[in-house]
Amino acid sequence: MHNISITQTKNNKQKPKDEALVFGRQFTDHMFLMDYKEGEGWYDARIVPYQPLEMDPAAMIFHYGQTVFEGLKAYRTKDDTIQLFRPEENVKRLNRSNARMCIPEVDEDIALEAIKTLVDLDRDWVPHKEGTSLYIRPFVIATEPYLGVSASKTYTFMIILSPVGAYYDAGIDPVKIAVENDYIRAVKGGTGEAKTAGNYAGSMIAQENVAKKGYAQVLWLDGHEKKYIEEVGSMNVFFKIDGKVITPHLSGSILPGVTRKSVIQLLMDWGIEVQERPILLSEVLTAHANGLLEEAFGSGTAAVISPIGELFYNETSYVINNHQTGALSKRVYDTLTGIQYGTIVDPHDWIVKVNPK
Ligand SMILES: *Cc1c(COP(=O)(O)O)cnc(C)c1O
């Protein structure tokens, strides 16, 4: 047990109706904070009413973007247990992102306990309707007021919570994806492996451009040769070709998704061959031409699985599985969500329950 002080709100907010939930626009009654000072380490772990921050305009986060974040969810089961999916993976990844961005590591036990304590306090905010959840956003920002380019000497680690609606209203829906030929998301040696704000700021222009043409996301290629497939939007990507599944290996410019890791494990459990390796875009297009590209999907915490119904590249559309959700995509989706919502057994101890009431 670590020492987290709790100041409860006196004004509980009105909770949105489960039917009216959107992604990331409403926040719960409380938030977690913990500060860091060079020489002192992390101190003052506390939960307080959700509120704006007061910050120095010279705080280094505003100027040099020294920050990392995480994203995971709390799920409500039928018997009203509140549970998390592999949260220790998110905490470990937070620290890998921290290391890349010269941010001091957070004690993993404290971070995990902070998540559990905050979710427990705001557990009534975990929505009930099927497919809904409570999104958990841990993040760290550099707070030192200093305009020199160097690592900040002070930081704040925070966690906020947002009730979110079902990603799919009427069953999983395949999306159209455009291959991105101009912009790149990340290069080896860059920050693509870290969940840090700049990666997302830098990729918005590509997303805006393809959205105008009716595509949901971009398919990112590698930054050196623009030949290899990396990710789809802010999801990892899988292809089923001639019965086997392939996904780009963690080359240094790819975000190591918790969903990705879980999908690979499930496929292995089912005896399906899965390869993590470099994937040429041309290999996927050739498989399509030969009728061997059976399914493609993105993976990430928000959508879990997002089937790709069409790829657009060089003025040509490549329709995948007749714009339908493939059987394997559906099986992975049903299994992962089943484990998350407690309707099917969790064979790998992925679930962490939040202190039962
Ligand atoms: C967060 C993220 C993912 C997915 O990671 P999960 O842990 O599965 O949610 C994939 N790619 C990018 C760029 C991301 O930011």
Which CATH number fits the domain that encloses residue 240? Answer: 3.20.10.10
Instruction: Read off the pLDDT of each residue in 30-45 and give the average, rounded to a whole number.
Output: 98
Q: What Cα–Cα distance (Å) separates residue 221 from each residue in 186, 224, 234?
A: 9, 9, 13
CATH number at residue 93: 3.30.470.10
Q: Are residues 34 and 139 in the same domain?
A: yes
pLDDT band at 193 (very low <50, low <70, confident <90, very high): very high
- Domain assignment present for 355: no
Residue 221: φ, ψ to 5°: -105, 165
- Domain assignment present for 354: no
Question: What was the pLDDT predicted at 176?
Answer: 96
Residue nearest to atom 14 of ligand 1 (CA): 234
Q: Are residues 197 and 336 in the same domain?
A: yes
Length of the chain: 357
- Ligand 1 center from residue 210 Cα (angstroms): 20
Where does a domain end: 164, 185, 214?
164
Instruction: Read off the pLDDT of each residue in 87-107 and give the average, rounded to a whole number.
Output: 98
Structural domain total, the chain: 2
- Domain assignment present for 72: yes
- Ligand 1 center from residue 218 Cα (angstroms): 14
Question: What was the pLDDT predicted at 357?
Answer: 58
Residue nearest to atom 10 of ligand 1 (CA): 235
pLDDT band at 163 (very low <50, low <70, confident <90, very high): very high
Question: What was the pLDDT predicted at 169?
Answer: 74
Q: Which atom of ligand 1 is nearest to the CA of 199?
A: 13
CA distance 222 to 188: 9
pLDDT band at 287 (very low <50, low <70, confident <90, very high): very high
Q: Are residues 104 and 202 in the same domain?
A: no
pLDDT > 80? residue 356: no
CA distance 217 to 172: 16
Q: Which atom of ligand 1 is nearest to the CA of 89?
A: 7
Q: Which atom of ligand 1 is nearest to the CA of 72?
A: 9
Where does a domain end: 143, 164, 185?
164
Model pLDDT for residues 198-240, shown as the tens digit of each residue: 999 999 999 999 999 999 999 999 999 999 999 999 999 999 9
Q: In terms of Cα–Cα distance, which of 169, 216, 151, 239 is closest to 23?
A: 169
Which ranges of the chain would DSSP assign to H, the alpha helix? 60-64, 87-100, 108-121, 197-201, 204-212, 258-269, 281-289, 327-340
Q: Exposure pattern of 320-339 as b/e (b: 16+ CB <10 Å)?
A: bbeeebbebbbebbebbbeb
- Ligand 1 center from residue 300 Cα (angstroms): 5
pTM, entire model: 0.97
DSSP, res 276: E
Q: Are residues 187 and 115 in the same domain?
A: no
Would you state the structure tokens that stand for residue 98, as one six-digit string? 């921290």
Q: How many CB atoms lie within 10 A of CB 54?
A: 5
Q: Are residues 160 and 179 in the same domain?
A: no
Q: Which atom of ligand 1 is nearest to the CA of 261?
A: 8
Where does a domain end: 164, 184, 210?
164
Please report how the helices 327-340 and 258-269 are oriented relative to each other, as an axis angle in degrees rounded to 10.
Answer: 110
Q: Which atom of ligand 1 is nearest to the CA of 90?
A: 7
Q: Are residues 227 and 160 in the same domain?
A: no
Question: What was the pLDDT predicted at 168?
Answer: 82
pLDDT > 90? residue 172: no
Tell me which residue range forms the domain holding 9: 5-164
Q: Are residues 89 and 218 in the same domain?
A: no
Q: Which atom of ligand 1 is nearest to the CA of 262?
A: 8
Residue nearest to atom 6 of ligand 1 (CA): 257
Q: Are residues 184 and 326 in the same domain?
A: yes
Question: What was the pLDDT predicted at 13?
Answer: 95
Q: How many CB atoms lie within 10 A of CB 284?
A: 24
Q: Are residues 241 and 292 in the same domain?
A: yes
Would you state the structure tokens that stand for residue 206, as one six-digit string? 């590509």
Question: What was the pLDDT predicted at 167?
Answer: 85
- Ligand 1 center from residue 21 Cα (angstroms): 22
Question: What was the pLDDT predicted at 1?
Answer: 56
Q: In terms of Cα–Cα distance, which of 191, 149, 186, 155 is closest to 63?
A: 149
pLDDT > 90? residue 242: yes
- Domain assignment present for 350: no
- Domain assignment present for 169: no
Q: Work out the mean pLDDT of the chain and round it to a whole number.
A: 96
Instruction: Read off the pLDDT of each residue in 285-312 and give the average, rounded to a whole number.
Output: 97
Model pLDDT for residues 302-313, shown as the tens digit of each residue: 999 999 999 999
Q: Are residues 128 and 179 in the same domain?
A: no
* % residues pLDDT > 70 (the chain): 99
CB distance 90 to 258 below 8 Å: yes
CB distance 354 to 82 below 8 Å: yes
Model pLDDT for residues 109-137, shown as the tens digit of each residue: 999 999 999 999 999 999 999 999 999 99
- Domain assignment present for 214: yes
Site to substitute for ligand 1 among 236, 237, 306, most atoms within 8 A of C-beta: 236
- Ligand 1 center from residue 248 Cα (angstroms): 14
CA distance 255 to 158: 21
Q: In terms of Cα–Cα distance, which of 256, 274, 252 is closest to 264?
A: 274
Which residues form the pocket of ligand 1, taking CB atoms under 6 Å from any ligand atom? 71, 195, 231, 234-236, 255, 257-260, 299-301
Would you state the structure tokens that stand for residue 350, as one six-digit string? 């992925």
CB neighbours of 227 closer than 8 A, spacing ≥ 6? 221, 280, 281, 282
Which residue type is seen at 223? Answer: G
Q: What is the largest CA-CA distance in the chain?
A: 64
83: exposed, middle or buried (Cβ count in 10 Å: 0-12, 13-18, 19+) = buried
CB distance 29 to 9 below 8 Å: yes
Q: Are residues 290 and 223 in the same domain?
A: yes
pLDDT > 60? residue 70: yes
- Domain assignment present for 349: no
Q: Are residues 103 and 154 in the same domain?
A: yes
CA distance 274 to 253: 20
| Kind and range of the H or E run holding 238 | strand 236-241
- Domain assignment present for 234: yes
